[in-house]
Structure 1
Amino acid sequence: MKALHRAPLLALLALTSCGIPATGVVEAGGPASGVLPLTPVYFVENGRLVAMQRNTGRPGDPTDALRLLIAGPLAGEGGTDTTDGLTTELPLLPTAMALPSAAVDVPGGSPSDPPGAAGSSASDTPTATVTGSTMTIRLPVGMAGLSDLGVRQLVCTATAAYRLTRPGTPSMTAAVTGGGHLVRTSDARCPAR
């Protein structure tokens, strides 16, 4: 019976003598948030909206997502080496041409410049604000005469970005203003990501 009493003591001695020091809590950065820095940006393919995932330094920010949308589709999206399959119903604004490629990188890269760098300002890109369950998207002057599909690109991109950090948000109403527009619509017509 003495051998049975010695077994736990020998096991404890073996564990403590293996050279692994006792440690306390090790601090290693901030808490995990569970949100990836990707946001869906909606483009047009064969007359319907499709979501493409883009890197963003600010997940959940609808204005940041709209800047990515204005930059247009990237080479290689849509399953080809060119953007032949993806188009946009939005006019290319001068700011969209000047955005650094890191700010509109595809998944796997990392944005090194803050969104809106390279000379953009609040007056030349769409902005989005949320009050309750209503999102207001303000268009710059150069975005007059948008089609229904173009308006849906804006609404679907902005509301999907907003929901990244607020997944339980119910259906939202979007008011698109500026550029000669005043459209109120729901994001219920947006395709699933």
Structure 2
Amino acid sequence: MEPVMKALRGVPPLMLLGLTSCGIPATGVVEAGGPASGALPMTRVYFVESGALVAMPRMTALPGDPEAALQLLMAGPLAGEGDSGRLSTEVPGMPTAMAPPPATDGPGQPASPDTFTVTVKRDAMTIRLPPGMDRLSGTGVGQIVCTAAAAYRLTRPSDATVTAEVTDGGGWHVTASDESCPER
């Protein structure tokens, strides 16, 4: 012990502090449950500004759920949102005669008939429009595909392109991808 003490006498005191332990054992990653709660996760919802798609963040109780994100899209843009404060949409909201869908459908329960239905297999989706919403413009289809794909990617990050077939149930359908979505 004597030789060690003699060797340490020439070491500045601050360096000695670095060599001592503060009583915290060294550990690896400690799994401690899910993410912190209190703030809801955000998803991107796509609206139109000056003819181009723009992503707007929205809080969601169901991260990774394309159907929940599409319900946020149907609610429309918020007043004063976007660079110009004048966002629009080419995806119609629910007709006023329809009651708003429940915030969430329980696990295993079918979605309400007046909402989007999204089926996902790997990086491909089929998005069925609600009744009364048909033959959307290319921009409207882009809003739907980009919004659904952004939500899907929240819990399944991937560099692969997500493709989607959008259908109205009456024979109209179009296939698009999230390849050209802003902020992909």
Flag whether TM exceeds 0.5 (same fold): yes
State the Cα distance separating 1:154 from its structure 2 match: 0.3
2:10 equivalent in structure 1? none
The 3-state SS of whatever aligns with 2:58 is strand
Structure 1 position 182 matched with structure 2 position 173: yes
Preserved contact between residue 123 and residue 140 of structure 1 (Cα < 8 Å): yes
Structure 1 position 41 matched with structure 2 position 45: yes
User: 68, 72, 91: which one pairs with 1:64?
Assistant: 68
What TM-score comes out, normalization by structure 2 length?
0.71
**Alpha-carbon separation, structure 1, partners of 2:103 and 2:120:** 19
What TM-score comes out, normalization by structure 1 length?
0.68
State the Cα distance separating 1:192 from its structure 2 match: 1.7
Preserved contact between residue 134 and residue 174 of structure 1 (Cα < 8 Å): yes
**Structure 1 portions without partners, runs of 5+:** 5-21, 100-113
1:8 equivalent in structure 2? none
Structure 1 position 89 matched with structure 2 position 80: no
Q: Deviations over 1:110-154 (max 9, x none)?
A: xxxx7358xxx5211112110122101010111123101000100
Number of matched residues?
165
2:131 equivalent in structure 1? 141
**Alpha-carbon separation, structure 1, partners of 2:52 and 2:83:** 16
**Alpha-carbon separation, structure 2, partners of 1:131 and 1:29:** 31
User: 73, 83, 92: which one pairs with 2:77?
Assistant: 73
Taking a change above 3 Å as real, the CA distance of residues 158 and 144 of structure 1, as seen in their structure-2 partners, is same
Preserved contact between residue 89 and residue 150 of structure 1 (Cα < 8 Å): yes
The 3-state SS of whatever aligns with 2:148 is helix
Runs of 4+ with deviation above 2 angstroms: 94-99, 114-117
User: 163, 166, 179: which one pairs with 2:153?
Assistant: 163
Taking a change above 3 Å as real, the CA distance of residues 95 and 184 of structure 1, as seen in their structure-2 partners, is farther
Preserved contact between residue 59 and residue 161 of structure 1 (Cα < 8 Å): yes
1:115 equivalent in structure 2? 103
State the Cα distance separating 1:28 from its structure 2 match: 10
Preserved contact between residue 90 and residue 146 of structure 1 (Cα < 8 Å): yes
Preserved contact between residue 135 and residue 168 of structure 2 (Cα < 8 Å): no
Aligned-pair RMSD on alpha carbons? 3.7
Preserved contact between residue 60 and residue 165 of structure 1 (Cα < 8 Å): yes
**Alpha-carbon separation, structure 2, partners of 1:76 and 1:183:** 32
**Alpha-carbon separation, structure 2, partners of 1:28 and 1:168:** 24
Letter of the structure 1 residue corresponding to residue 33 of structure 2? G
**Alpha-carbon separation, structure 1, partners of 2:98 and 2:47:** 15
State the Cα distance separating 1:189 from its structure 2 match: 2.0
Hey, which of these two has a bigger chunk of helix by percent? 1
Structure 1 position 127 matched with structure 2 position 117: yes
